[in-house]
Structure 1
Amino acid sequence: MAVYKSDNKWYIKGKIRKDDGTYYHYHKLAAGCSLKKEAIEYERKFKISYQDIVVSVKFLSFKELSEEYLNSLTSVKSVTKRTYTDLLDKINEVMGNKKINLINKDMLQRYIRDLESKYSKEYVEKFYYILRASFNYAIDNDYITINPMNKVKLSVNKDEIRKEMDFWEPEEFQRFIDNVDDQELHLFYTFLFYMGTRRGETLALQWKDIDFENNSVSIYKTVTYKIKDKPWEITSPKTQNSVRNIPMFKIVEDELRSWKKVCEQKYGFNDKCYVFGFSRPLAAERPRKQMVKIVDRINADLPVEQQLKKIRIHDFRHSHASWLINNMGKYNFSDFDIAKRLGDTVQMLHSTYAHQFKDAGKNIINSMEGSVDEVKIPLKTVKNDDYISELKSLKELLDIGVITEEEFSLKKKQLLGI
């Protein structure tokens, strides 16, 4: 090992003994060094770095680790595994080829900061937790000894304001539904607006789940799309609360009966056929894409103040929930009844619709089955459903050991504003 100066530049020169008894010879510029002691330190770090690289040949790449970790998740639902797969696929685009022993805190912190500059806090947290879980798996299997995510921090912005959701009031929904010509999609949008079910629950419905005699619908499954090696899969709901039986509004019953008559004329019809899609569930993106086209067509020649606002498919559910909350006093049902109908817990219901519960009883409105012209539902100020989705995600992370009870409790208090 030696350092020497030539033409006012410092160089390092020496050899490193390999495990097989041979030597690696090095001779290179000590870049950035102006003093001998700096060149000596440069050589020391170079040798450490070289040895790390040699040793890392024996280590997994992050991509290999992520694949092992995903395969180990045998007890999580398909929809959850798909979410984790999507996140890890994105992470692998950046660090998939890096050896896990060479991935350090600084590298991961830069990655998280970059994500924070592009995405929402909730979305970045998903990357944060899956990274930590992956390295925990590596520790559990003796691949590494320290989790490099332990000192990686998420940004804290106490002044962050959550986005409020957009909703359609009944008049707005009526403007939209009057322009839907496709009978199947007309029923689909109507079902969501009046039943408050989730998209996956609705698309998983089969005719055997529709009880016309008792005027109710059984919800006990959901459809998950983009599963690896298969386009879709029917699974049980994410939580036990999601299993429920929902009474139907007459407008839903009438449209279902009419649509069933159409379906019965198709070859191969039986009660196992899907209500939306027949032999397989309706393509997930079709309702959304058609909704966008219809709204654009409605708004084409209207001034901005008269245009129908654009919402998501999931916002039909929140429109329904808001109506229920604001009618608690008038129709004598409780928050427990609402939570049961929606497939949520009372706690989740309150955290998601805090504003509505604050004002419940003050804004009693007419029934949704009354004249649309008379119904006035204040739906514009409901808080984002990210509260409920994030709490569920955190509970899942707690269940599989990614976060601790203390972390879950702290995060829960932050979300609920306690």
Structure 2
Amino acid sequence: MVEKKKARAKHRGIRGAGSVYRRDDGRWVGSFIVEETGKRKYLYGKTQQEAYEKLQNALQDQKQGMLATGAKEKVGDYLTRWLDVHKVTLRISTYKRYQVVLDKNLIPALGHLSLQKLAAQHIQTFYAKLVKEGISPRTIKMVHAVLRKALNQAVRWKLIPRNVCADVSIPRYSKHNIHPLTMAQAKRLMEVSKGSQLEVFITLALMTGMRRGELLALRWAHVDFATGCLNIHRNVAYVTGYGYVEDDPKTSSGNRAIPLPQLVIDLLKQHRSKQLEVRLKAGSKWQDNDLVFSNKHGNYFSLTVMYKVFNQVLIEAEIPHMRFHDLRHSAATILLALGIHPKVVQERLGHSQISMTMDTYSHVLPSMQQEATDKLDILFREQEREQE
């Protein structure tokens, strides 16, 4: 008669405390019930102590609400899902930029990895490869910013316990130093640009401080010749790998009205007349987008042509190479140097806060301080003379 084996007595532990035991293959296992899902989670270790420590750490994470409970998912699948979910919260241009970063950089390099197993060394190795390929630090910074943002959301969704981007270093990126034009250079640039495709474009940039994208998106409907005022409501960005993307300004302060000098109003009227001639020549090929600055068919003005002509004008004006965006900085610097109140400059530029204006153009402030000192000196010296 075969003797029946006595069943082992089951000792019920403290609810939620988990348990540690040894498997038949010799590995130690720590297991506990995940409160959020009601499913059992298993943690493995080579020794009883290792399994126990992993169990305690997991229980502590669960207590603090930091336990990653997501199912296994590839980085590429997660990034695609993350961007799709957040599309409604992003500006169109931002969404398109993120999409290009995912499709061109992140998914090809990291998409095959498990989200839960993505490590800092994977990302660091990827960035080192980009550097070897000659990718600029600025681009790598953009890639890193998108990945960090996506992984921060994964942490909030409890798909991963922490964001490994915190352990990754990116190449140093130096911000472009501002090189504004002097008043004499600004006048020279406007003079040399006369008759070129950018005559009005450059003049408007220097007179208003408008961004390149705001100039490209400007419509004739936004120009009020009766009041001599220009209204800014849109912005155009060129996304590499996608094309032109038009959107609202980044902030509400980007929507603004700028009074125009008579010089600019006259130039705009002349420009409109010339554009009508181009429109008639284009005939049925003309696209009626109402753009102030357009190509020969009425679409967005080519950035390639813009940069080519701008560099030619700089050379002819004997002005060192500069970015077109520096015209915006030049406009602000000239206004501040003329003694225009920073609050007026802030509103004209469309900055959301005056601190942004002050921080960006702090190089102008010392001369303004000296001007204020000189005016005070003159004021009180006159007062002393009157008392004598």
Asked if Structure 1 and Structure 2 have the same fold, meaning a TM-score greater than 0.5 normalized by the shorter chain, the answer is: yes
Pairwise CA distance, 1:114 = 6.7
Pairwise CA distance, 1:198 = 0.5
Structure 2: distance between partners of 1:222 and 1:359: 33
Partner of 1:338: 345
Matched, 1:100 2:115: yes
Pairwise CA distance, 1:123 = 5.6
| Structure 1 segment 350-389 matched on structure 2, within 5 A | 350-360=358-368, 362=370
Pairwise CA distance, 1:101 = 3.1
Partner of 1:145: 160
User: Which amino acid counterpart does residue 75 of structure 1 have in structure 2?
Assistant: T
**For this pair of structures, how many residues does the alignment match?**
295
Pairwise CA distance, 1:182 = 5.0
Matched, 1:320 2:298: no
Structure 2: distance between partners of 1:358 and 1:123: 34
Partner of 2:150: 134
Pairwise CA distance, 1:168 = 2.5
CA contact (8 A) 1:193 1:319 kept: yes
Partner of 1:277: 294
SS at match of 2:258: strand
CA contact (8 A) 1:327 1:361 kept: no
Partner of 2:252: 240
User: Which amino acid counterpart does residue 198 of structure 1 have in structure 2?
Assistant: R
CA contact (8 A) 1:219 1:243 kept: yes
Matched, 1:82 2:96: yes
Pairwise CA distance, 1:348 = 0.7
Structure 1: distance between partners of 2:119 and 2:73: 15
Q: Relative to structure 1, is the Cα distance of residues 263 and 214 closer, same or farther in structure 2, using a 3 angstrom cutoff?
A: same
CA contact (8 A) 1:112 1:124 kept: yes
User: Which amino acid counterpart does residue 114 of structure 2 have in structure 1?
Assistant: K
Bigger mean CA offset, 92-101 vs 243-252: 92-101
Partner of 2:221: 208
Structure 1: distance between partners of 2:175 and 2:344: 27
Which ranges in structure 1 are unaligned for 5 or more consecutive residues? 1-14, 16-39, 42-57, 300-306, 365-418
Structure 2: distance between partners of 1:293 and 1:59: 56
Q: Relative to structure 1, is the Cα distance of residues 66 and 236 closer, same or farther in structure 2, using a 3 angstrom cutoff?
A: same
Pairwise CA distance, 1:290 = 1.9
User: Which amino acid counterpart does residue 119 of structure 2 have in structure 1?
Assistant: N
User: Which amino acid counterpart does residue 349 of structure 1 have in structure 2?
Assistant: T
Deviations 1:187-224 (A, max 9, x none): 11111111110011111111111111111100111123
CA contact (8 A) 1:206 1:271 kept: no
User: Which amino acid counterpart does residue 286 of structure 1 have in structure 2?
Assistant: V
SS at match of 2:237: strand
SS at match of 1:232: strand
How much is the aligned-residue C-alpha RMSD, in angstroms? 3.6
Pairwise CA distance, 1:64 = 2.5
Pairwise CA distance, 1:234 = 2.7
Bigger mean CA offset, 263-272 vs 191-200: 263-272
Matched, 1:66 2:79: yes
Q: Relative to structure 1, is the Cα distance of residues 150 and 270 closer, same or farther in structure 2, using a 3 angstrom cutoff?
A: closer
Pairwise CA distance, 1:62 = 2.5
CA contact (8 A) 2:97 2:239 kept: no
Q: Relative to structure 1, is the Cα distance of residues 363 and 251 closer, same or farther in structure 2, using a 3 angstrom cutoff?
A: farther
Structure 1: distance between partners of 2:292 and 2:165: 48
Matched, 1:291 2:310: yes
Pairwise CA distance, 1:76 = 1.0
| Structure 1 segment 111-190 matched on structure 2, within 5 A | 111=126, 124-140=140-156, 144-149=159-164, 151-154=166-169, 164-180=177-193, 183-190=196-203
Q: Relative to structure 1, is the Cα distance of residues 119 and 170 closer, same or farther in structure 2, using a 3 angstrom cutoff?
A: farther
1:264 to 259, 276, 289: 276
Pairwise CA distance, 1:79 = 1.8
Q: Relative to structure 1, is the Cα distance of residues 316 and 95 closer, same or farther in structure 2, using a 3 angstrom cutoff?
A: same
Pairwise CA distance, 1:363 = 6.2
CA contact (8 A) 1:223 1:232 kept: yes
Partner of 1:249: 261
Structure 1: distance between partners of 2:244 and 2:175: 32
User: Which amino acid counterpart does residue 71 of structure 1 have in structure 2?
Assistant: D
**Structure label with greater radius of gyration:** 2
Structure 1: distance between partners of 2:210 and 2:151: 37
Overall identity of the aligned pairs, in %:
20
Structure 2: distance between partners of 1:214 and 1:166: 33
Determine which structure has greater relative contact order: mean sequence separation of CA pairs < 8 Å that are 6+ residues apart, divided by chain length. Answer: 1
Deviations 1:203-255 (A, max 9, x none): 11111111111111001111233388x74333210001111100112221121
CA contact (8 A) 1:70 1:85 kept: yes
Q: Relative to structure 1, is the Cα distance of residues 214 and 138 closer, same or farther in structure 2, using a 3 angstrom cutoff?
A: same
SS at match of 1:225: strand
Structure 2: distance between partners of 1:154 and 1:290: 39
